[in-house]
Structure 1
Amino acid sequence: MTDETMLNILIADDEPLAAERLQMLLARVDGVNLVGTAHDGESAVRMAEALQPDLVLLDIAMPGLDGIEVARALSRHSPAVSVIFVTAFDQFAVAAFDVEAVDYLMKPVDAARLARAIERARDHVARRGDEPARTEGDEAPGWLEEFWASDLSGLVRIASRDIDRVTAERDYMRLHVGHRSWLIHHSMTALEEGLNPELFVRLHRSAIVRRDFITGFSRNVSGRWIARLADGSEQPVGRLYSDQVRTIAGR
C-alpha cells in the first residue's frame, strides 16, 4: 500500500444499487480509499491492472467473466490483489476457498460484517507485504489454513487449527470442531495433501485427526489399533496406516 494505514479498494458489481450500497458502507470505514467501480468481469480485470488496488470487493454473478474467473486472473498479478466476495449466492463458497478469498459476504451486506472483513483484508495485505519475494519456479508456500462451510445462518469460516478430526461421508468431508460439525465438498486425498502434516495425521482411508487430539492408542480383540481421542470417542486405525501409530508414539 502507498500509505501504511490506507487500503485501496475496487468494487466490481454489475448491479448499480448493490455497488452504490457498498460505496456508502465504505464511506463509514476508516482507512479505505475507493479507487473505482467496475460493472463486469472484464472491466474489473482491466481496472485492477491500471489502478493496482489492494483489495477488490467482488460480485460472483456478473456478465462475461464471473467473479471466480476474475479472482483467478487477479491471483496471477504481481503484486497479488486480495479479494472479498460479495454475493447473493452461498453455493460458491468452496470455489471462493479455492481462489483464496479473504472473506465471503452475503447480500444484503451488514455494515459491521463488512468492516470486520476489511480488517481481515488489511491484515492479509500486511502479511503479504512481509513475505519474501517469490521467483519463477518457487512453489506456493503454506498449508490450508481455513475452510468455508454452509450452515443455517449462511456461511461460516473454519480455521484448520480448530478442526479436531475429518471424516468422509460419500462425496463430502465432515469437519468436526468440538460438538459441532460441517460438511464440505472436498476429497480426503486433497485434504491430506493440504493440511499441515505436523498438525494432522491420516489414520484411516476415511479419517484424518489432529495430532494433539489423540490421547492414546489401544488394540482391539483382533489386534487392530484404536486411537483414543480427547472427546472420549475412538477412531479405528486402518491397516494401511498402522505405521502412523509407531511414528506418533516415537517407536
Structure 2
Amino acid sequence: MRVLIADDEPLAAERLQLLLAKAEGAQLVGTASEGESAINLAEALAPDLLLLDIAMPGLDGIGVARALAALDPSPAVVFVTAFDQFAVAAFEVEAVDYLMKPVDPGRLQRAIERARAYLVQRSAQPTPGKASQWLEEFWASDLSGLVRIAARDVDRVSAERDYMRLHVGRRSWLIHHSMAALEEGLDPELFVRLHRSAIVRKDFISGFTRNPSGRWLARLADGTEQPVGRLYSDRVRAIAGR
C-alpha cells in the first residue's frame, strides 16, 4: 500500500510517519501540509491510500476527498482527526475509515487492511453501475473513534429506545436511526422485519417454529430465537414460499 499523509500539524504528521513505518504492508510515498498540495501530490504520486486530516488551512480534508474522487483510480481515504463531528461528511465522501487522534497503532493497522480490502473489491468491479437505492453501510462509534459497517454484514437489528443496535457476529454497535427508516432503507431482498423492534437478515434465519400459544419464532444461525410479531406473520409465509 502506497500511502500519502496530509496533515497541517507537523507533530501529528511525524507521529503518523512513525506509526506507518512500523505498520505491515504500507509504504510512505509523501506528505502534504495543506489541501491543495495534497491534491497535487496525489495526482503526481498515485498513492493507494491517503491518511487525511480534516481541519486544514485552505481546502479542508472533505474538499480534498471530493476532489480526489474524480481521479481514476482514486485513492482510498482514511480520515485522521481530533474531532468526531465530521463523521456524516466522511460518510458522504465514502471514506474507508475514520481515526481519532492520537492514533492507536493497532487501529491504524486495521484501517490499512480495510483500505486494502476496499481497493481489492473495487478493482473486481471496474465498471461502476447505477448507485444502489438501498443502505450499503453505517458509521458507528467505538472506543477509538468511528467504524464503518457494511449493511450486508449485519446479522440483525434490535431496537433500544431511540437507538438501533446492529449485531455483527459477537459484536454490536448502537446507531441513531428509527426502525421504520431502517426497514425502508435496507434491501428487502436481504432483510426482513419480523417484529416492531427487530429486523433480521434473511440468510441468518435457519428456520421457523411455533411456541405453545401458536406464535411464530424465527430460529437464527447463532442459536437464538426471534419472536415474530403478529403483524409480521405474513413475512414467515413469504420467506417459506407459502
The 3-state SS of whatever aligns with 2:102 is: coil
Partner of 1:211: 202
Decide whether the 8 Å contact of 2:87 with 2:139 is kept in 1.
yes
CA distance, structure 2, for counterparts of residue 70 and residue 186 of structure 1 = 29
CA distance, structure 1, for counterparts of residue 28 and residue 169 of structure 2 = 40
Counterpart code for 2:225: G
CA distance, structure 2, for counterparts of residue 40 and residue 17 of structure 1 = 14
1:40 to 20, 31, 34: 34
Counterpart code for 1:54: D
CA separation of 1:164/1:33 partners in 2, compared to 1, >3 Å: closer, same or farther?
A: closer
Partner of 1:68: 62
Decide whether the 8 Å contact of 2:97 with 2:146 is kept in 1.
no
Partner of 1:236: 229
- Unpaired runs of 5+ residues, structure 1, are 1-6
Decide whether the 8 Å contact of 1:229 with 1:235 is kept in 2.
no
Counterpart code for 1:9: V
Matched length: 238
CA separation of 1:55/1:152 partners in 2, compared to 1, >3 Å: closer, same or farther?
A: closer
Decide whether the 8 Å contact of 1:147 with 1:158 is kept in 2.
yes
TM-score using structure 2 length: 0.76
2:110 to 108, 116, 139: 116
The 3-state SS of whatever aligns with 1:100 is: coil
Q: 1:69-148 residue pairs with structure 2 within 5 A? A: 69-134=63-128, 138-140=129-131, 146-148=137-139
Partner of 2:19: 25
Counterpart code for 1:25: L
Residue identity over aligned pairs, in percent, reads: 69
CA separation of 1:235/1:242 partners in 2, compared to 1, >3 Å: closer, same or farther?
A: closer
Counterpart code for 2:111: A
CA separation of 1:203/1:63 partners in 2, compared to 1, >3 Å: closer, same or farther?
A: farther
- Unpaired runs of 5+ residues, structure 2, are none
CA distance, structure 2, for counterparts of residue 220 and residue 30 of structure 1 = 56
CA separation of 1:133/1:56 partners in 2, compared to 1, >3 Å: closer, same or farther?
A: same
CA distance, structure 2, for counterparts of residue 191 and residue 160 of structure 1 = 11
Aligned Cα root-mean-square deviation (Å): 3.5
Which segments of structure 1 move beyond 6 Å, counting only runs of 4 or more?
Answer: none
